[in-house]
Amino acid sequence: MSVEPDPRVVAGLDVWESLPVGQQPQWPDASEVRRVRDRLAGLPPLVFAGEADALRAQLAAASRGDAFVLQGGDCAETFAEATADNIRNKIKTILQMAVVLTYGASLPVVKMGRMAGQYAKPRSSDVETRDGVTLPAFRGDIINGFEFTPEARTPDPDRLLEAYHTSASTLNLIRAFTTGGFASLLRVHEWNRGFTANPAYSRYEQLAAEIDRAIRFMSACGADVDALRAVDFYSAHEGLLLDYERPLTRIDSRTGLPYDCSAHFLWIGERTRQLDSAHVDFFSRVQNPLGVKLGPTTTGDDAIALMDRLNPTGEAGRLTFVTRMGAGKVRDLLPALVEKVTADGRPVTWVCDPMHGNGITSASGYKTRRFSDVMDEVAGFFEVHRALGTVPGGLHVELTGDDVTEVLGGTEEIDDEGLARRYETLVDPRLNHQQSLEMAFQVVELLRRA
């Protein structure tokens, strides 16, 4: 059975073109963008409507406290880093965190990567000046190159196609890893990456041994362990570049409704979530579960107005509010927001982004964050929800599976000088593998108290 789409629904997908739109590049040639958009519109979808619906149901469970969301990955993915090793290490890290949380808190974990499409970045300025030379700012690999030359920095629409193909190959590997045996709990030991001398790693080894015993016990009892062999893993990115999101939006033949098939989950950033903006209009018209980032200036009325636009009927799982207040503010500012939204009655899933409100510049000049601030915001998020009787539904973090040195602190005590050792990010500092695991162990303690 297929349902014909309502022509008004299809026409609605282009309304954003006449609305104020922030954070888009200035393409040198509009006809080139047209050509690329037409090409993208003819390529297969990267995800399917039914998968987005399944994720929506799992996010609804998280809004009730029956699951916990773990969303993690790079601040900005790059084409060059879409290698098998990098993807595998990131997946391993997220699986390890997920297993720590699932086992430690006895809760299903909804696993989502900032992966397979996280290529567009909002910037505070359109241009960057170095030594008297001014060029367009780097807006992510889907738009221009990081290198500070006029060639690299000129927005190039062919990059949209490269982003699509890189997302497709990333997603292909993710699907292979998560359903082809690699993610099986029978291999829980193999995901550990470091020296077990490190406290987070030895703790992990211990937990893995407990899981092994539990699995052997269950098999001995004749229990069905099929559910242990694979995971559902969802892709997510900031829905920023509308010249990309629009052509990847497809009408689902089953329902006749539009889905943005570039990823399962899209979020609208703090800088593009104005109520009358192109972004809010466009995403209000697709069926995917959506996130909106809410920073410290968000009022309760802003949040309600966003619900009116993005989830008017109050469908559970449709809307996730990702709060990023900063460690120093979360305990003061989050309660009023949560209270106002809760009083409204329409459900949202509350997720904590403890990264973006905690940026600092190190004495040595690096853009960094302190692990202790990150964890303090997470703790504040749990405290606020516990005090209000509402549900802390998940975490949204910037991480990598490698041993980079971009965030200060953690048990390995990365200090100011240490940052220089392996600072590789092009945009924001990410938790390294070991800091990510440490975070998971600490969040277990918070979940047990929640």
Question: Which positions touch Mn ion (CB under 5 A)?
Answer: 75, 428
Residue 269 or 347: the one with the smaller Cβ distance to Mn ion is 269
Dihedral (CA of 415, 421, 425, 427) sign:
positive
- Residue 228 within binding range of ligand TRP, rule CB under 6 A: yes
135: left (phi over 0), alpha (psi -120 to 50) or beta: beta
Annotate each residue in 146-185 with x if it binds ligand TRP (CB under 6 A) or - if it does not, as one string: -------------------------------------xxx
CA 179 to chain centre: 21
231 to 270, contacts with ligand TRP by CB under 6 A?
Answer: 231
* Residue 98's binding partner out of Mn ion, ligand TRP, none, with CB under 5 to 8 Å set by partner kind: ligand TRP
DSSP codes of every residue in 159-183: HHHHHHHHHHHHHHHHHHHHHSSTT
Distance of alpha carbon 448 from alpha carbon 450, whole angstroms? 6
Q: Does 104 bind ligand TRP (CB under 6 A)?
A: no
- DSSP states of 96-161 as a string? HHHHHHHHHHT--EEEEEEBSS------S-SEEEETTEEEEPP--TTT--SSSSHHHHS--THHHH
Question: Is position 95 an interface residue for ligand TRP (rule: CB under 6 A)?
Answer: yes
Q: Which stretch binds ligand TRP (CB under 6 A): 48-56, 62-70, 93-101, 339-347?
A: 93-101
Closest separation in Å from C-beta 392 to ligand TRP = 19
428 binds, among Mn ion, ligand TRP, none (CB under 5 to 8 A by kind): Mn ion
The 3-state secondary structure of 262-293 reads: CCCEEEECCCCCCCCCHHHHHHHCCCCCEEEE
Partner whose binding site includes residue 227, from ligand TRP, Mn ion, none (CB under 5 to 8 Å by kind): ligand TRP
Shortest CB 114 distance to Mn ion, Å? 9
Q: Closer to ligand TRP at the Cβ: 135 or 207?
A: 207
Which of residues 231 and 431 has its CB atom nearest to ligand TRP in the complex?
A: 231
Q: CA angle at residue 437 from 432 to 443, to 5 degrees?
A: 125
Instruction: Write down the residue that tokens 């048990």 correspond to.
Output: 411
Residue closer to ligand TRP (CB basis): 95 or 120: 95
Q: Does the protein bind ligand TRP through residue 102 (CB under 6 A)?
A: yes
392 DSSP β-pair partners:
350
Q: Is 108 in the site for ligand TRP (CB under 6 A)?
A: yes
Site for ligand TRP in 183-202 (CB under 6 A): 183-185
Is residue 330 part of the contact set for ligand TRP (CB under 6 A)? no
Min dist. Cβ of residue 99 to ligand TRP (A): 4
Closest separation between CB of residue 31 and ligand TRP, Å? 46
**Dihedral class, residue 157 (left if φ above 0, else alpha if ψ from -120 to 50, else beta):** alpha
Neighbours of 406 (CB within 10 A): 24
Please count the residues of this chain forming the interface with ligand TRP, following the rule CB under 6 A: 11
User: Which among Mn ion, ligand TRP, none contacts residue 280 (Cβ within 5 to 8 A by kind)?
Assistant: none
Q: Does 440 bind ligand TRP (CB under 6 A)?
A: no
Helix (H) or strand (E) holding 361: strand 359-361
Residue 40 or 70 with smaller CB distance to ligand TRP = 70
Q: Which of Mn ion, ligand TRP, none does residue 75 bind to, with CB < 5 to 8 Å depending on kind?
A: Mn ion
**Residues 112 and 394 sit within 8 Å (Cβ to Cβ):** no
Shortest separation between residue 322's beta carbon and ligand TRP, angstroms: 22
Which DSSP string corresponds to 184-250? -GGGGGGG--S-TTSHHHHHHHHHHHHHHHHHHHHHHTT---GGGS---EEEEEE---HHHHTTTEE
Identify the residue among 98, 263, 399, 444 touching ligand TRP (CB under 6 A). 98
Nearer to ligand TRP, 67 or 334 (CB): 67
State yes or no: residue 55 binds ligand TRP (CB under 6 A). Answer: no
Tally of CB atoms within 10 A around 206: 11
Helix (H, G, I), strand (E, B) or coil at 23: coil
Nearer to ligand TRP, 100 or 414 (CB): 100
231 binds, among ligand TRP, Mn ion, none (CB under 5 to 8 A by kind): ligand TRP
Per DSSP, 359 falls in state E
CA 397 to chain centre: 7
Q: Give, as one character, the DSSP assignment of residue 86.
A: H
Binding positions for ligand TRP, rule: CB under 6 A: 95, 98-99, 102, 108, 183-185, 227-228, 231
